[in-house]
Amino acid sequence: MRNLCVKVSYDGTAFNGFQTQPYGRTVQGEIEKAIKKLSGETIIIIGSGRTDAGVHAQGQVFNFYTKSSIPTERWAVALNTRLPKDIVIIEAHDVPEHFHARRSAKRKTYRYTIDMGKFPDVFGRQYRFHHPAPLNVEAMREGLRHLIGKHDFTSFTSIHSTKPHHVRTVYEADFVQEGPILHMYVTGNGFLYNMVRVIMGTLLWVGQGKLAPDEIKTILEGRSRSLAGPTAMAHGLMLMNVEYSL
Amino acid sequence: MRNLCVKVSYDGTAFNGFQTQPYGRTVQGEIEKAIKKLSGETIIIIGSGRTDAGVHAQGQVFNFYTKSSIPTERWAVALNTRLPKDIVIIEAHDVPEHFHARRSAKRKTYRYTIDMGKFPDVFGRQYRFHHPAPLNVEAMREGLRHLIGKHDFTSFTSIHSTKPHHVRTVYEADFVQEGPILHMYVTGNGFLYNMVRVIMGTLLWVGQGKLAPDEIKTILEGRSRSLAGPTAMAHGLMLMNVEYSL
């Protein structure tokens, strides 16, 4: 059977997350409905991972098996005409049958964005966390550096994490500032539930002077969620891309 | 009485335009409600001009007379906490009593934005007109040049214009391309009803090869709306700023 791998962007504002839920509108649900309309097939797509309610994606990836003979290059256009406007398919590829969007993923990059302007930019309000008080970005960058590498991220995940172990590798992490807009980019081999948002919430404490940058190391080593800062709001988070070695 | 001049940005998506209407949510209506909550005064604000349903503003300007003693520097923060999130006040100034946001305006700049990407950028979909077919931007630029100067813009305004005469001066007009994003900037001493949108709709014909750039001159001289192209969709239009000589 054909295995199709699809890259999709979505504005998470009006979704109850990526994954199908007992109630609420989800990205997965809308995509499965569009596939049904297009090929007539009732399919369950496999996402690279969930994103929470309100979280956005520039490059989420999913795969699914289809018997349809629709040419690969037609899928993106054909699905887009059947999808609501807050989901846009970017590309589709045929992949080997063993490809699995979650299990085959090698690296993921997330971005968390803060608007440090006195007043929020109204056109970015749904994609940035507005924090008008001054932040010490250099201290935040120094704190973030402690998280690069292979660590047990128990302190930086929700207590509701269902994962058997919490060791993950962060390959790259940095802040990029463009005027009042501050982006945190984090690339890793996988992310725990709420991990980027807890990292951001804790680094906000560093930026506000409530924590010294080196305390990030202490928190990491303490392996307890209670040591870290709050979970930053969902709407500042964006799944940028998922990488595979095919 | 104090005369306050206020600069405001808004996302026009969920508004039935700037100006108070018999029905529908308007920017003016929301601002007047916020002023009422803040100072207790029932006030009618004076905008620099209307913007249509769906049109956005980075720098709309209005003024109003108030007896309130709230310090000038507090107005922006105080109003923002009382306004819905799709309206953000940027600054407020005391101005002389004769200042009138519409009559005192010297120059206005509008921007119309097209997303020429194969698929729309989902995060800009409410602020850009998606036109995936190729456009000859150089031809559009050449056509646009014919509109610079003092002209009768009857061909480029709605037949529902209520203005006594249609002579306006366009001081500057150009296209700026950033990858798949194409902005048209137009600065003039005043704009007729739908003027920027009709200009854009007609230049799209030029970009699509349906009209030669020089035909813009012929259409201008013909002084008839029927000669020009369609009115481009509202959501690509943004009022950038209004200039005054105080």
In the annotation, is B174 catalytic? no
Q: Is the ipTM of this complex over 0.90?
A: yes
- Determine the 3-state secondary structure of B47 from DSSP: strand
Q: What is the pLDDT of residues B24-66, one digit of tens each?
A: 999 999 999 999 999 999 999 999 999 999 999 999 999 999 9
Which amino acids of B are annotated as binding site for substrate, given as ranges? Answer: 110
A11–B85: do the CB atoms touch at under 8 Å? no
Give CA–CA dist A66/A72, Å, rounded: 11
| Contact at CB, A76 and B119, closer than 8 angstroms | yes
Decide if B11 and A123 are in contact by the 8 Å CB cutoff: yes
CB contact under 8 A, A90 and B10: no
Point out the residue among A80, A89, A122 whose CB comes nearest to the CB of B11. Answer: A122
Of A86, A121, A125, the CB nearest to B122: A86
Shortest distance, CA A119 to any CA of chain B (angstroms): 7
As a dihedral over the C-alpha atoms of residue B74, residue B78, residue B80, residue B82, rounded to 10 degrees, the angle is -170
Per-residue pLDDT for B240 more than 70?
yes
pLDDT category at A22 given cuts 50, 70, 90 is confident
Say if B2-95 and B107-244 have the same CATH topology: yes
Give B11→chain A minimum CA distance, Å. Answer: 6
Neighbouring residues of A69: CB distance < 8 A, sequence distance ≥ 6: none
Q: Do A89 and B122 touch (CB under 8 A)?
A: no
Which of A89, A43, A104, A90 lies closest to A68, judged by CA? A43
Question: Which of helix, strand or coil describes residue B8?
Answer: strand
Q: For the domain bounded by A107-244, which CATH number is listed?
A: 3.30.70.660
Residue A117 clears pLDDT 80, i.e. is over it: yes
Between CA A36 and CA A149 the distance in angstroms is 42
pLDDT of the residue at B246: 61
d(CA B225, CA B223): 7
For helices B215-222 and B195-207, give the axis angle rounded to 10 degrees: 150
CATH number for the region A2-95 comes to 3.30.70.580
Which tokens sit at B62?
A: 């209005």
Residue B5 DSSP label:
E
What average pLDDT does this structure show over A164-177? 96
B116: buried, middle or exposed (CB in 10 Å: 19+, 13-18, 0-12)?
A: buried
Task: Decide if A43 contacts A35 (C-beta within 8 A).
Answer: yes
Does the annotation list A110 as a binding residue? Answer: yes
Cβ-contact A46, A62 below 8 angstroms: yes
Residue A124 tokens, joined: 């970015």
Domain ranges of chain A: 2-95, 107-244
Amino acid at A229: G
Please give the average per-residue pLDDT across A138-158, as a whole number: 97
Nearest CA in chain B to A119: B90
| Catalytic annotation, pick one of A11, A52, A152, A174 | A52
For residue B120, the chain A residues in CB contact (below 8 A) are 88
**Which chain A residue is nearest to residue B85, measuring alpha carbons?**
A122
A23: pLDDT confidence band, cut at 50, 70 and 90?
A: confident
Element (H, E) at B197: helix B195-207
CA distances from B161 to A95, B22, B155 (A): 57, 19, 11
Q: Which residue of A has its CA nearest to B123?
A: A11
Of chain A, the percentage scoring pLDDT greater than 90 comes to 94
Residues in chain B within 8 Å Cβ distance of A84: none
| Strand boundaries in B122-209, DSSP class E | 129-130, 149-152, 167-178, 181-188
Give the closest-approach CA distance of B75 to chain A in angstroms.
13
Using alpha carbons only, what angle is made at residue A6 by residues A4 and A10, rounded to the nearest 5 degrees? 155
Cβ–Cβ below 8 Å for A122 and B9: yes
One-letter amino acid at A219 equals I
